[in-house]
A and B are shown apart, each in its own frame.
Chain A
Amino acid sequence: MTRHGRKPDETTLTVWQVIELARHADRPYSLDYIRRLAPDFIELHGDRLSADDPALVGGVGTWHGRTTMFLGHQKGRSLKERVSRNWGMMHPEGYRKAIRLAHHAAKFGFPIVSLIDTPGAYPGAGAEERGIAAAIAEAIMEWFRIPVPIVAAVIGEGGSGGALGMGVADRVIMLENSIYSVASPEAAASIVWRDNARKVEAAEQLQLTSRDLLAMGVVEEVVTEPKGSAHADHDAAAAALDEALHRHLQPLLAQPTAELLQHRYERFRYIDSLIHAEPQFGPKI
């Protein structure tokens, strides 16, 4: 249920149509949102080790009167930009930049907004050579120690560990026509069938739409998109996202740090609460 009247489950779209909307070429990307939320946004670059990953943008801006750290996967709009942004697929340097900026935010007490929109971490040889697995692993572990409020939103594609590496937060919300999955439908088809042409079947089984995730308790809210989906009206989509993120951030700002971190721990530690709720999962500790 969203705060804007229409229930997200009233949609008549097929799963694959939702995926096409999540990947729509005109869909607003992180910078489209960040520049509307914080027009004074200053981008900060680099992991301070070796490189800057253009697939992840990060920086500070004033949002509702408060300096806020914004992070987001950035896909490109033109072909040239898509190539330079690597289609929003991060390399290890991106996760290291994210954690650097998270510590930066923690130093100054800035809350963090993380926007997720990636098919996954980059599946290439260079990423492997520079330790993509360990970079994601370190990031996931480190987010639990960042002592400022973090709100995350899946705005398009939430693909696999590449998304989760930016998705450990105190609240996680999703735009209505976004997806969040253990693997992209193509990758899942390739793993389960050894044939990525079975992507539609895989997508239908994965339960990756926003309302599936809300039902599973993985996200706190589904944000209704404007009529015709987010790409039809970037301003309205940004206004809806702004309102929802801000509303989720408010109670977090008042929380003592120890409590904030304990709740973040519990949010993920017991995220599959079914394991406790259903007897066949065995005894609780």
Chain B
Amino acid sequence: MSALAKASSELRIAGSKLPVIPLPTNCPGCGVALDLETMRKHNYVCPDCGHHFRLGADAWIALVADRGSWQERWGDVRSHDLLNWKVPKPYQEVVEHLLEEGLNEAVRTGTCTLAGRPIWLAAFDFRFVGGTLSIVAGERLARGMEQAASSGLPYVLISASGGARMQEGVLALMQLAKVNAALGRLHAAGVPYFSVLTDPTFGGTAASLALLGDVNIAEPGAAIGFTGPRVIKQATYADLPPGFQSAEFQLAHGQVDLVLPRTELRRLLAHLLEMYP
């Protein structure tokens, strides 16, 4: 057994301690009373029923990156109210409020190590306008992919997104092309790209980078699809079966390679990084 394989077999389930996130008193999956410290040590997965709570980009970075290895890039790139969007809420105010709360756009990206191996990491943050793909998000993704394509560092994506950001109009839609152009270069360069799909991943994010991983890994129970169930029902009056668009549904329909609990993710990524040097 190589030193790295040995290290990965001893790999902790998170690189460093996860931040505190607000939790309900009881698990929505099974009703058990939740203990914050237990949940925090268990990557916010219910130890009883396996319900996965949503994580923000800060938590994902803590989970994936080796302690102290995270180097954020382009964190100062800021969004801009291009369309002068006013109703129902002024976009500028929404963004400023989220920035004041300490969130930094719907995608954060940078470099880190995972079990000692350097990677590029990008994490969506659903708390920032529903994790929507914006010009800033697209720019951070595309720049990281271009750098990964030239340096050869593997690229790891954590997605959680409602799709393209309405308030940035057609330029938000153009981010699908911008990001996929860069992703094409990443693939052409032979650089491994591991895509982790979390709840929820929809719309333009699913229809661009999230499902194009060399290995697509979905979290149990995550909702993944193109059109959301509400819109499908509105448009087609269809009754959708239970579990429609779940990670398990996408596994059965050939869209993801694995459905894997979050407590096993870090070990799997470390193993993949070893196998796809």
Give chain A's interface residues, CB within 8 Å of chain B: 121, 123-125, 127-134, 136-138, 140-142, 144-145, 160-161, 164-165, 167-168, 180-183, 187-188, 190-193, 196, 201-202, 205-208, 212-213, 216, 218, 264-265, 268-269, 271-272, 274-275, 278, 280-283, 285
Contact = CB atoms under 8 A, between A and B. Distances in A.
Contact of A278 (B80, B174, B240): B80
B204 interface: yes
Nearest to A95: B207
Nearest to A187: B231
Contacts, number: 194
A182 B170 contact: yes
16 contacts: A123-B231, A125-B238, A133-B211, A140-B180, A141-B212, A182-B173, A190-B231, A192-B88, A208-B170, A213-B170, A218-B171, A218-B174, A269-B182, A280-B78, A281-B135, A282-B78
Give 6 nearest A-B pairs by CB, closest first: A282-B77, A133-B206, A133-B226, A123-B227, A136-B207, A268-B177
Given A124-B238, A132-B226, A190-B234, A160 B173 contact: yes
B181 A128 contact: no
A131 B255 contact: yes
B253 interface: yes
Given A125-B238, A168-B177, A269-B142, A201 B80 contact: no
A124 B235 contact: yes
A128 B235 CA distance: 14
Contact of B139 (A165, A167, A206, A275): A275
A157 to B, nearest CB: 13
Contacts of B185: 265
A124 B225 CA distance: 11
Interface stretch (B56-64, B114-122, B161-169, B268-276): B161-169
B113 interface: no
B24 interface: no
Contacts of B142: 269
B176 A140 contact: yes
Most buried by A among B83, B136, B174, B244: B174
Interface in B193-226: 203-204, 206-212, 224-226
B212 A164 contact: no
B207 A265 contact: no
A202 B88 CA distance: 10
Contacts of A129: 253
Nearest to A168: B177
Nearest to B162: A191
B172 interface: yes
Most buried by A among B77, B143, B170: B170
DSSP majority for the B interface? Answer: helix
Nearest to B211: A134
Contact of B176 (A164, A282, A283): A164
Nearest to B138: A272
Contacts of B32: none
B212 A137 contact: yes
Nearest to B245: A128
A272 B174 contact: yes
Contacts of A127: 226-227
A285 B135 contact: no
B82 interface: yes
B17 interface: no
B77 A268 contact: no
A268 B169 contact: no
Most buried by A among B82, B171, B203, B225: B171
B78 A161 contact: no
A152 to B, nearest CB: 12
B253 A131 contact: yes
A271 B82 CA distance: 14
Contacts of B210: 133, 137
Contacts of A282: 74, 76-78
Contact of B169 (A137, A164, A165, A181): A181
A112 to B, nearest CB: 16
Given A132-B226, A168-B177, A205-B85, A137 B166 contact: no
Given A125-B232, A129-B253, A280-B78, A205 B176 contact: no
Contacts of B85: 205
B223 to A, nearest CB: 11
Most buried by B among A127, A134, A145, A207: A134
A128 B226 contact: yes
Contact of A134 (B87, B245, B255): B255
Contacts of B77: 275, 281-283
A140 B76 contact: no
Given A123-B232, A136-B207, A271-B174, A128 B244 contact: yes
Given A130-B253, A161-B203, A192 B166 contact: yes
